[in-house]
Chains A and B, each alone.
Chain A
Amino acid sequence: MAIHAAKSGDSYLTVSEATRQINDTFEAYFPQLLFHGEISQLTVAASGHLYFSVKDQGAQLSCVMWAGMARTLSFKPAQGVAVRVHGRPNVYAQTGRFQIVVSRLLEDGEGELQRKFIELKDRLQREGFFSVERKRPLPFLPRAVGLVTSRTGAVLHDMMVKLRERFPSMVVYLSETRVQGEGAADEIATAIRKLDDSRLVDVIIVARGGGSLEDLWAFNEEAVVKAVFACSVPVVSGVGHETDTTLCDFAADVRAPTPTAAAEMVVPKVTDLLQRVSELERRLRDFDRWLQPMVQRIDDLALRLDTRASAVVAEGSLRIKAAEAKLASIRPDKVIELLRGKIEIFHGRLYRMGMASTDRLNTNVSELRDRLRRAIPTERVEHYRSAVDTLGGRLLVGVKRGLEDAKAQLLGLGLRLDSTNPQRVLERGYSIVRVGGKPIRSLVEVSDGQDVEISVTDGKILGTVTGRSMQR
């Protein structure tokens, strides 16, 4: 046989011939190979061929299933699905790759890992590790970001690029860990705890690139879920691709579809923030706008003052008119006339009764009239009337003066308002002198040799007091 020929060394085969002989041997010894295991690393080629591995705990075999065969499958092959395989071994001549050409693929219940995943998920769910109420919001702007991932590989690089793009000065701490293989879960959990204990970061991203269910398995383990759950700062899970789901995703406060998306979530865009600050700055510097309500209030007060003044004047003149009317109605002559009439009647009655002489009565009447005159003299009425007039005049003058005062005050207020607008004051050539940050108003607030700070429109002048003189 050719194999023996190769051993003896007297005849060398070409690689192609060697490959063909290997395949012939396989064909002879394993016309049909039956085995079972779990599908992993499944790829559906554009041609429709299926490329995948079938593995168990200790070994894996590369498999290929031609498109025509693949179309007849009664189930959808997927990562972790347990299968029974009929196939023949073959070395693919072009790459030298050993593979099983699958002729029949049968589903063998649920894949072992898939089953484990679901069991663990259900249990941890019951234990409250995935509770929605526990999810915390991400900080608006973290002091620093913590990364839990592998130091090598594109994932770290891609996240750093995204972080730099959004917020160039963000500080990032890497807590390095292996992300797959035996013991990786404990390492990931430790890396999370270390970042948390350091108190250096306000948010943590747990990240890994895409891979098979086995590759991502560490992120399904209880140790990782518990570490994420126990973390005192919010955790973003960016494990695998959009379609990969791990238990770490469920335990995290936020699940990101990819590591890069996670980086995007944890920091805001610095340009957006600068824009917000600039907008507020513009509003703060807009004096006209914030003085507007004050001007309006002064206008309003002025209007109210005018209204009030007219009301006072109107009320005053109304009262004067009433007093005049009342005075006019008390006519002394009419009173005397009235009394005289009454006396005549009384006189007549007395006369008729013959109880006293008419003369005597006449004298009495004269006396009575004089007393009455003294009691209500016309002069006094006139005096009252003019007193009322004077009072009315004074009232008017008073109200007018009050109005003038108010207007003057208002004008003063307007001037003061204008003069206190710091920008305008400074623009007019005045300056604010401060000692120790406090504006000074009087000589007594500074002493010789003290440093002063003089604010002008465009900045500050620093100086020292060399002397003071009192304004006379």
Chain B
Amino acid sequence: MAKAGKETVVTLEALVSGEVSEAQVDALSFEQALKLLEEVVTSVESGSLPLDRAIGSYEHGTALIKHLRKLLSGAEEKLRMLNQG
């Protein structure tokens, strides 16, 4: 399902209409995911969404929060050597 190219652009529209797989959410960069989450929260707060889509957005927002937290947590930093030679 992964699209070609290194940057997969996920739009708010695609997210709330359920076209985005869990794997695609996991592949989002922190910046992208944060931007999407901000859009989800803003659109939900605006009250302009139909109720079912607002509830769907709530679920997608929760998934994004999970992904963001995962990106921020993790083991202590590792210093890796780049092979010289």
Which of A's residues lie within 8 Å of B, judged by CB?
139-141, 143, 146, 160, 163-164, 167-176, 191, 194-195, 198, 200, 270, 273-274, 276-277, 280-281, 283-284, 289-294, 296-297, 416-417, 420, 422
Contact = CB atoms under 8 A, between A and B. Distances in A.
A141 B33 CA distance: 12
A277 B51 contact: no
A289 B44 CA distance: 9
B41 A280 contact: yes
A270 B72 contact: yes
11 contacts: A169-B75, A175-B82, A176-B84, A273-B30, A273-B68, A277-B65, A281-B65, A283-B45, A284-B44, A284-B62, A293-B48
Interface string B62-85: 100100110111111111111110
Contacts of B52: 420
Given A160-B77, A297-B47, 7 more contacts: A171-B80, A173-B82, A176-B82, A273-B72, A280-B41, A283-B45, A284-B58
B78 A172 contact: yes
B62 A160 contact: no
A390 B24 CA distance: 67
* Most chain A beta-carbon contacts within 10 A, residue among B38, B44, B81: B44
Nearest to A438: B18
Contact of A169 (B31, B38, B41, B72): B72
A217 B58 CA distance: 57
Contacts of A420: 51-52, 55
Interface of B: 29-31, 34, 37-38, 40-41, 44-48, 51-52, 54-55, 58, 61-62, 65, 68-69, 71-84
Nearest to B58: A284
A289 B76 contact: no
A174 B72 CA distance: 22
Contacts of B81: 173-174, 176
Contacts of A294: 47, 51
* Most chain B beta-carbon contacts within 10 A, residue among A167, A169, A276, A289: A169
B30 A140 contact: yes
A290 B66 CA distance: 21
B79 A174 contact: yes
A293 B47 contact: yes
Contact of B72 (A143, A194, A274): A274
* Most chain A beta-carbon contacts within 10 A, residue among B58, B65, B81, B82: B82
A459 B73 CA distance: 23
Contacts of A146: 82
Contacts of A174: 79-82
A18 B34 CA distance: 74
A195 B80 CA distance: 12
Main secondary structure of the interface of A (DSSP, over half): helix
A143 B44 CA distance: 30
Contact of B47 (A173, A176, A292): A292
Contacts of A140: 30-31
Contacts of B77: 160, 163-164, 167-172
A297 B47 CA distance: 9
A169 B73 contact: yes
A250 B57 CA distance: 46
Nearest to B79: A172
Contacts of B41: 280, 283-284
A276 B34 CA distance: 9
Contacts of B75: 169
Given A176-B84, A284-B58, A289-B45, A169 B51 contact: no
A284 B40 contact: yes
A284 B61 contact: yes
A51 to B, nearest CB: 37
Contacts of A194: 82-84
A280 B55 contact: no
Contacts of A191: 82, 84
Nearest to A140: B31
Contacts of A292: 47
Contacts of B80: 171-174
A280 B82 contact: no
A293 B50 CA distance: 11
A195 B82 contact: yes
A141 B70 CA distance: 14
A293 B49 CA distance: 10
A416 B51 CA distance: 10
Contacts of A195: 82
A81 B48 CA distance: 70
A169 B74 CA distance: 5
The 5 closest A-B pairs by CB, nearest first: A293-B47, A169-B74, A140-B31, A141-B30, A175-B82
A293 B48 CA distance: 8
